[in-house]
Structure 1
Amino acid sequence: MTHQPQQSPQFFLTAPSPCPYLEGQLERKVFTHLVGGRASELNDLLTQGGFRRSQNIAYRPACENCRACVSVRILAGEFKQDKSMRRVWNRNRDLIGNIHHAEPSTEQYSLFRHYLDARHNKGGMSEMTVLDYAMMVEDTHVPTQIIEYRRRGPDSFITKKGEGELIAVALTDMMGDGLSMVYSFFNPEHASRSLGTFMILDHIQRAAAAGLPHVYLGYWVEGSRKMQYKIRYKPQEHLGPKGWERQD
């Protein structure tokens, strides 16, 4: 019997588990695998439909009694920095982001470990080993890049590279209609730089310069303080029952 490859992805549903964002809530996710020659196309379609990528899995919330998770994307071409964002941008003018293939390094993992220990030592990622980190970066079948942020050097205008210590890292998917920020981390000892904000601003500028309309930030969770930062970047769109709706 001739085997016919499946043309449509198969979707699966996770069992209920405690929600990491809202106390007392249970979360469930629907997910599928991103593999094969159509992985990039499928990732674009699913991301536009509210999914997120983690390694070779695309997932989205499918909670029975809660709809707090809302997919957010920034309209990069229309975005204007407010006063506090301009201060963050100017504070980090000495940094430059250099693009690499999605390949892990010991320097990246050392920074990642420092970030988790300082900011998320009780989170679900707190026990990630160097091999777990390598899988997070490498296990992708879609166009993915690592952006490493370092201080500018005297020849950065020629080399397009920073020099010195690694200060921040972003793992980013390149899509047909924008950039999707998969995960980012930074040196917590540079808290005054507001590096999380800076990396989002940098991605907005990169998307706009490339003529890409969107920067995908994942989920804003209403009622979760640690997710409130995502709705600062206006204009943006939220995915609802009627599709993507503008928020100014």
Structure 2
Amino acid sequence: MSDDYKFGITQPFTCNYLPDEEERLLVAVDERLHNTDQYSWLMENGFRRSGDQIYRPHCINCKACKSIRVIPELFSLSKSQKRLLNKNKGYVLKISNEPKEGYYTLYENYINTIHHDGSMFPATIAQYETFTKSSVSEQLFIETWDEDILISVAVTDVLSNALSAVYTFYHPDYRTKGLGVFSILNQIKFTKLHKKEYLYLGYQIDSCQKMNYKNKYYPYQELIENRWITTNK
């Protein structure tokens, strides 16, 4: 990365995913980096955003977090993914370019029911807006509807050469429908439709149950020692 840009390093703090480890972040504080082109370049280098803060792990003794991305043009459905799409084929997908009023109610219900034992409980508007508002890129909101019921929203950033899966929340009554996987499969589809090269899924952490689900979409690439390494089936 260029030495011309300004980055900051946070103080160490307890990791949200590996409680025996300390987390530290490298933060892109330079405002010149807060636009779609530069954010796309930062994503290529393992960064991600929370609200308008763009960061990547910069931990002293741990390298568990690996940025991961799918190659939609080469993507091949597994048998279980095909079954899931068939099971959910009656749902209707809609696209919005901005968050809608009903999203927060769905998000609040999701956090307070499914993640009531996690660090994000209880749900707040401020926390919700770190996913749904961004000045560094355009966004897509992929909605899943069961007739007149909004059951899922996949918040997706639009980058120069990729889409980025930011966060998905869904109706707790549908938790057996695999809506997290269903949303990723739809994001892969929309990445192809938008003629983008990659779908970023965030950080894969093999030793954390909540964060080790992202390497099920083949082929994918992981950023290891600043090189993107491809894994096929």
Q: Please, what TM-score do these two structures have when normalized by structure 2?
A: 0.91
Distance (whole Å) between structure 1 residues aligned to residue 120 and residue 30 of structure 2: 21
Are residues 1:133 and 2:133 paired?
Answer: no
CA deviation profile, 1:3-28 (whole Å, cap 9, x unmatched):
xxxx9542111111111111311101
Could you tell me whether the CA contact under 8 Å between 1:35 and 1:56 is conserved in 2? no
- Alignment equivalent of 2:59, drawn from 43, 60, 63: 63
| 163, 184, 193: which one aligns with 2:177 | 193
- Number of matched pairs: 230
Q: Distance in 2 between matches of 1:202 and 1:192?
A: 18
1:124 and 2:119 correspond = yes
Residue of structure 2 aligned with 1:17, choices 13, 19, 24: 13
Q: Please give the alpha-carbon distance, in whole angstroms, between the structure 2 residues aligned to 1:20 and 1:135.
A: 17
Q: Percent identity?
A: 31
Q: Which runs of 5+ in 2 are unaligned?
A: none
Q: 1:186 to 1:33 in 2, by over 3 A?
A: farther
1:173-212 paired onto structure 2 within 5 Å? 173-212=157-196
Instruction: Give 1:49's match in structure 2, choosing from 39, 45, 49.
Output: 45
Secondary structure at 1:53 match in 2: strand
Within the alignment, does 1:27 sit opposite 2:23 as a pair?
A: yes
The aligned residue for residue 215 of structure 1 is 199
Unaligned residue ranges in structure 1 (runs of 5+):
1-6, 152-162
The list of structure 1 runs, each at least 4 consecutive aligned residues, that deviate by more than 4 angstroms after superposition, is 33-38
Q: Which entry has the higher C-alpha Rg, 1 or 2?
A: 1
State the shift of 1:131 in Å.
4.5
Structure 1 residue matching 2:214: 3-state secondary structure? helix
Q: What SS does structure 1 have at the residue aligned with 2:212?
A: helix
What is the DSSP-based 3-state SS (H/G/I as helix, E as strand, rest coil) of the residue aligned with 1:232?
A: coil
Contact 2:72 2:188 in 1 (8 A): yes
TM-score of the superposed pair, with normalisation by structure 1: 0.86
SS in 2 for 1:42: helix
